């Protein structure tokens, strides 16, 4: 089945540690996205990538980093510089810049 896989579903991190969230898609989509969602709020864009080896900052990129070495993969690293990392993280992909985006099932990150 084609789709977007995010792993893990739940992640716990100690303060001061970096952690990497995985996002893989087998839809052959060019563009990939990372969003953050806090309770009762909408999606805020962290980073997006239109093509391999290229990515752009979204609205809340501080404290996060990404890479796009392969078309199917777009991992997100939450660094220790992110002051409030506890949130629900969603990855998405789309074929072109004007088509609908498809989402993974999310990773819930909790800092303990």
Question: In the sheet where 64-66 sits, what is the strand order?
Answer: 4-7, 19-25, 76-78, 64-66
Contact pick of 2, 16, 42, 84 for another protein (by CB under 8 A): 42
Give the E-state strand segments of the chain in sequence order: 4-7, 10-13, 19-25, 31-37, 43-51, 54-57, 64-66, 76-78, 87-94, 102-103, 107-111
Binding mask of the shown chain, residues 47 to 86, with x at each position contacting another protein by CB under 8 A: -x-x-----x-xx---------------------------
> Residue 7 or residue 56: which is nearer to another protein going by CB?
56
When asked if residue 16 is in the footprint of another protein (CB under 8 A), the reply is no
> 105 near 6, Cβ under 8 Å?
yes
Report the residue number, 92 or 111, with the smaller CB distance to another protein: 92
Supply the DSSP symbol for 73: B
- For the bound state, the minimum distance from the C-beta of residue 49 to another protein, rounded and expressed in Å, comes to 8
Residues that bind another protein (CB under 8 A): 4, 6, 31, 33, 35, 40-45, 48, 50, 56, 58-59, 88, 90, 92, 94, 97-106, 108
């Amino acid at each position: 089945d084609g789709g977007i896989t995010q792993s893990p579903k739940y992640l716990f991190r100690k303060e001061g540690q970096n952690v990497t969230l995985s996002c893989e898609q087998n839809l052959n989509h060019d563009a990939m996205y990372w969003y953050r969602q806090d309770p009762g709020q909408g999606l805020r864009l962290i980073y997006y990538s239109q093509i391999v080896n290229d990515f752009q900052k979204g609205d809340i990129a501080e404290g996060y980093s990404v890479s796009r070495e392969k078309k199917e993969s777009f991992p997100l690293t939450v660094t220790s510089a992110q002051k409030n990392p506890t949130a629900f993280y969603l990855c998405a992909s789309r074929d072109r810049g004007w088509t609908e985006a498809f989402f993974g099932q999310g990773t819930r990150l909790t800092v303990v």
